């Protein structure tokens, strides 16, 4: 018969355990705690350090210190990461708080009213530690007392360690004291990881190199406002308890909006922002749980001179690493969300969006315990979802409201971001078209489609004469023609001075064709007009052919040569445009109608490809 304690006693009084979760399995499961990689686990400890210093009147110093050691178990005797410590000079802990901090599921911020800082539940210390190491030792000091306790995975698995060891009076290990950059300070905490069996990176330099940009991005506001400094240091242990410094750097802010100075961006953009603000930050008031909350959406867009450097430049590569919507909770970034991107478009790196909220909206954003993500934040379309449920928009919204569904405010946030992105993408597209127009105007080798089409047209004029409606305007004064073309080119995102320079070049070189990209009503794939003696072909950005064909063929930077496919397509369009330009009366109307009808059929065919 089973005892109340869950034990059965058989012959020889051997005790059998029927624990709901066997200790070996539970600790093994806890070690698989879902951290994206080792850098995110370290970030949990940095969170604790920064939050522990929030009420202090001085900045918090945080140091991540790695020690490599060469050993017989390393291939070729190479040095390997042996142990790691995170030090801070924050407020430290008393004896009871230290013991509680090492318990699983017993955090220091479990009450909702206590979740106002960057912490979530305050359970990150044990979770993150055993996800990387088999042993964690914690030293903490304040009010003249230093306490030490630990967790050891082997002891837990074998049942030798059931309770968190009672903290003992202690002193900081001398080896770590000599590796800390400053004095110990009157208060603080030192967390030491040893037996790093689950650490992804095997050398300290690899770990810190991969962690630096991420840590700089997550804590950029604390670093930028001087509320915290974060030092990343690596040492190699040599004989006699001595250490050689391998690397030693302070983390600089890594701003996805590219608006801060003193950042980790490549020069000169480390001190001169590569982007500029896109309007003023929006304060979106959203309702949830019977209360109103503010979500702040800030946006930035690349400067024209930054865009001209191209995606393969150092700043282009750096921007790609920070691509996405930055989700920021209480000044700490949770993630770079990629759900709003057009994944096929390399120009997505040239905008920045940041969504900032307070912990009161954790349920709406789906903040995970380890603060690596916001699972509730992703692109949503309320019209599509209402249709999928077979409900009217009004009924669907009412159902969400009655259910207190966190998606209701997220629909508002998603809509605001989509609207911003639509405007920014259009402006970025115009920037590139402006660059392409500039290249076409300044190209001296005559290799662009505009140049080739112009030469073909001139030979046609030699045979047939000036038969196009646009031809007579070529006889107007050059300044007058340049004025008209300047207005057209400005619409492609170029400043007036540059647009004027390009217009003058167009007139001087007698280029006959100009390509533009814009949305306009109707079904046509493209439109044909003429101004100042130039035939203007405008590609309809709303037509699916734009994404399926023109965007794909235009991939790459504006300063790269046109692909043969793009050049061929543009030459086909210039031929059609010239045919319309030479037509008149009913024939011209007929061609315009055919162009519109063909565009409608093409739209239906291309939409079928998207199904």
Q: Give tens-digit pLDDT for 194-239.
A: 999 999 898 999 999 999 999 999 999 999 999 999 999 999 998 7
The set of long-range contacts for 515-518, using a CB threshold of 8 Å and a minimum separation of 24, is 515/433, 515/436, 515/437, 515/450, 515/539, 515/570, 515/573, 516/433, 516/488, 516/491, 516/492, 517/429, 517/430, 517/433, 517/492, 517/541, 517/546, 517/550, 518/491
Asked whether residue 308 is domain-assigned, the answer is yes
Asked whether residue 56 is domain-assigned, the answer is yes
End residue of a domain, out of 372, 393, 424: 424
Q: CB of 412 within 8 A of CB of 288?
A: no
**In this model, does residue 80 exceed pLDDT 80?**
yes
pLDDT at 350 (0 to 100): 96
* Strands laid side by side in the 513-518 sheet: 513-518, 534-540, 526-531
Alpha helices in 332-473, H assignment, sequence order? 362-365, 382-388, 393-402, 407-442, 449-464
pLDDT at 559 (0 to 100): 59
Asked whether residue 9 is domain-assigned, the answer is no
pLDDT at 9 (0 to 100): 42
pLDDT at 2 (0 to 100): 44
pLDDT at 308 (0 to 100): 84
**In this model, does residue 369 exceed pLDDT 70?**
yes
For 518-565, what is each residue's pLDDT tens digit?
888 899 999 999 999 999 999 998 899 988 888 777 655 555 677 899
CA-based nearest residue to 236, from 42, 72, 70: 70
**In this model, does residue 81 exceed pLDDT 70?**
yes
d(CA 218, CA 45) in angstroms, rounded, equals: 13
Asked whether residue 582 is domain-assigned, the answer is yes
56 and 158 fall within a common domain = yes
553 and 463 fall within a common domain = yes
pLDDT at 7 (0 to 100): 45
Residue the block writes with tokens 């291939």: 75
460 and 489 fall within a common domain = yes
pLDDT at 296 (0 to 100): 98
504 and 589 fall within a common domain = yes
Asked whether residue 416 is domain-assigned, the answer is yes
d(CA 164, CA 145) in angstroms, rounded, equals: 19
233 and 200 fall within a common domain = yes
For 301-339, what is each residue's pLDDT tens digit?
999 889 888 888 999 999 999 999 999 999 999 999 999
Q: CB of 258 within 8 A of CB of 352?
A: yes
d(CA 551, CA 107) in angstroms, rounded, equals: 51
CATH of the domain at 156: 3.30.565.10
Q: 119-123, 219-223, 458-462: which has the minimum mean pLDDT?
A: 119-123
Asked whether residue 434 is domain-assigned, the answer is no
**In this model, does residue 15 exceed pLDDT 60?**
no
419 and 537 fall within a common domain = no
pLDDT at 265 (0 to 100): 98
* Strands laid side by side in the 60-70 sheet: 168-169, 145-152, 135-142, 188-194, 79-88, 60-70, 228-238, 242-250
Summarize the confidence of residues 138-167 as an average pLDDT. Answer: 94
Q: CB of 437 within 8 A of CB of 502?
A: yes
Distance, C-alpha 105 to centroid of its chain: 31
What radius of gyration do the chain's Cα atoms show? 32
pLDDT at 446 (0 to 100): 81
319 and 235 fall within a common domain = no
Range of the domain at 344: 275-424
Number of domains comprising the chain: 3
Q: 1-15, 104-118, 502-516: which has the minimum mean pLDDT?
A: 1-15
pLDDT at 107 (0 to 100): 56
Element (H, E) at 335: strand 332-337
68 and 161 fall within a common domain = yes
Q: How confident is the model at residue 4 (pLDDT cuts 50, 70, 90)?
A: very low
Asked whether residue 143 is domain-assigned, the answer is yes
pLDDT at 474 (0 to 100): 96
Instruction: Copy the structure tokens of residue 129.
Output: 């530690």
pTM, to two decimals: 0.79
Q: Considering only residues 343 and 51, tell me which one the structure prediction assigns the higher pLDDT.
A: 51
> Which one-letter DSSP state was computed for residue 37?
S
Asked whether residue 17 is domain-assigned, the answer is no
pLDDT at 427 (0 to 100): 86
pLDDT at 299 (0 to 100): 98
Q: Considering only residues 440 and 337, tell me which one the structure prediction assigns the higher pLDDT.
A: 337
**In this model, does residue 63 exceed pLDDT 60?**
yes
For 372-428, what is each residue's pLDDT tens digit?
889 999 999 999 999 999 999 999 999 999 999 999 999 999 999 999 999 999 888
Q: Mean pLDDT, the chain, as a whole number?
A: 89
Q: How confident is the model at residue 183 (pLDDT cuts 50, 70, 90)?
A: confident
Q: 82-91, 255-264, 511-520: which has the minimum mean pLDDT?
A: 511-520
pLDDT at 125 (0 to 100): 92
381 and 488 fall within a common domain = no
Q: Considering only residues 109 and 610, tell me which one the structure prediction assigns the higher pLDDT.
A: 610
91 and 184 fall within a common domain = yes
For 490-506, what is each residue's pLDDT tens digit?
887 777 888 899 999 99
% residues pLDDT > 90 (the chain): 70
Summarize the confidence of residues 569-575 as an average pLDDT. Answer: 97
**In this model, does residue 241 exceed pLDDT 50?**
yes
406 and 510 fall within a common domain = no
d(CA 119, CA 96) in angstroms, rounded, equals: 19
**In this model, does residue 8 exceed pLDDT 50?**
no
d(CA 599, CA 608) in angstroms, rounded, equals: 14
Q: CB of 305 within 8 A of CB of 431?
A: no
105 and 238 fall within a common domain = yes
pLDDT at 371 (0 to 100): 72
% residues pLDDT > 70 (the chain): 89
d(CA 492, CA 429) in angstroms, rounded, equals: 8
Residue the block writes with tokens 């046609």: 460
Most confident among 76-80, 88-92, 364-368, 435-439 (mean pLDDT): 88-92
Summarize the confidence of residues 18-47 as an average pLDDT. Answer: 81
Summarize the confidence of residues 477-501 as an average pLDDT. Answer: 89
At 331, phi and psi to the nearest 5? 70, 5
């Amino acid at each position: 018969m089973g005892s109340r304690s869950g034990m059965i006693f058989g012959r020889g009084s051997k005790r059998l355990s029927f624990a709901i979760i066997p200790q070996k399995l539970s600790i093994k499961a806890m070690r698989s705690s879902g951290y994206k990689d080792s850098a995110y686990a370290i970030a949990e400890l940095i969170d604790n350090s920064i939050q522990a210093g929030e009420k202090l009147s001085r900045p918090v110093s945080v140091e991540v210190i790695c020690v490599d050691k060469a050993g017989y178990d390393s291939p070729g005797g190479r040095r390997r990461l042996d142990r790691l410590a995170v030090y801070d000079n924050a407020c430290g802990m008393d004896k009871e708080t230290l013991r509680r901090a090492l318990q699983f599921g017993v955090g220091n911020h479990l009450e909702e009213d206590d979740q106002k800082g960057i912490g979530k539940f305050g359970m990150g210390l044990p979770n993150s530690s055993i996800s990387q190491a088999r042993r964690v030792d914690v030293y903490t000091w304040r009010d003249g007392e230093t306490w030490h306790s630990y967790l050891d995975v082997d002891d837990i698995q074998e049942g030798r360690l059931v309770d968190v060891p009672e903290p003992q009076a202690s002193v900081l290990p001398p080896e770590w004291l000599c590796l800390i950059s400053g004095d110990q300070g009157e208060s603080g905490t030192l967390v030491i990881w040893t037996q790093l069996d689950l650490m992804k990176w095997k050398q300290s330099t690899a770990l810190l190199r991969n962690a630096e940009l991420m840590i700089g991005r997550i804590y950029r506001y604390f670093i930028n406002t001087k509320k915290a400094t974060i030092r990343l240091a690596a040492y190699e242990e040599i004989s006699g308890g001595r250490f050689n410094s391998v690397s030693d750097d302070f983390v600089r802010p890594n701003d996805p909006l590219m608006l801060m100075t003193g950042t980790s961006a490549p020069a000169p953009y480390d001190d001169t922002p590569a982007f500029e603000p896109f309007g003023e930050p929006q304060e979106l008031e959203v309702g949830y749980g019977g209360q109103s909350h503010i979500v702040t959406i800030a946006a930035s867009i690349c400067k024209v001179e930054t865009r001209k450097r191209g995606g393969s430049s150092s700043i282009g590569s750096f921007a790609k690493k920070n691509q996405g919507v930055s989700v920021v909770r209480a000044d700490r970034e949770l993630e770079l969300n990629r759900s709003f991107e057009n994944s096929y478009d390399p120009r997505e790196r040239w905008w920045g969006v940041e969504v900032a909220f307070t912990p009161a909206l954790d349920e709406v954003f789906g903040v995970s315990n380890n603060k690596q993500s916001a699972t509730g934040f992703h692109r949503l379309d309320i019209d599509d979802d209402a249709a999928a449920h077979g409900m009217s928009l009004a009924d669907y919204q009412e159902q969400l409201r009655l259910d207190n569904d966190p998606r209701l405010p997220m629909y508002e946030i998603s809509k605001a971001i989509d609207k911003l992105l639509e405007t920014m993408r259009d402006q970025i597209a115009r920037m590139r078209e402006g660059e392409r127009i500039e290249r076409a105007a300044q190209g001296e080798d005559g290799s662009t489609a505009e140049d080739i089409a112009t030469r073909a047209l001139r030979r046609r004029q030699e045979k047939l004469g000036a038969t196009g409606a646009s031809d007579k305007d070529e006889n107007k004064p050059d300044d007058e023609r340049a004025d008209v073309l300047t207005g057209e080119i400005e619409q492609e995102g170029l400043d007036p001075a540059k647009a004027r320079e390009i217009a003058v070049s167009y007139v001087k070189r007698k280029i006959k064709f100009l390509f533009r990209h814009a949305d306009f009503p109707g079904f046509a794939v493209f439109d044909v007009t003429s101004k100042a003696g130039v035939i203007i072909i405008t590609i309809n950005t709303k037509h699916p052919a734009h994404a399926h064909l023109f965007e794909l063929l235009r991939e790459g930077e504006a300063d790269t040569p046109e692909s043969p496919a793009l050049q061929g397509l543009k030459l086909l369009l210039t031929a059609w445009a010239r045919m319309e330009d030479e037509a008149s009366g009913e024939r011209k109307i007929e061609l315009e109608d055919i162009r519109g009808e063909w565009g409608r059929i093409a739209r239906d065919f291309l939409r079928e490809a998207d199904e």
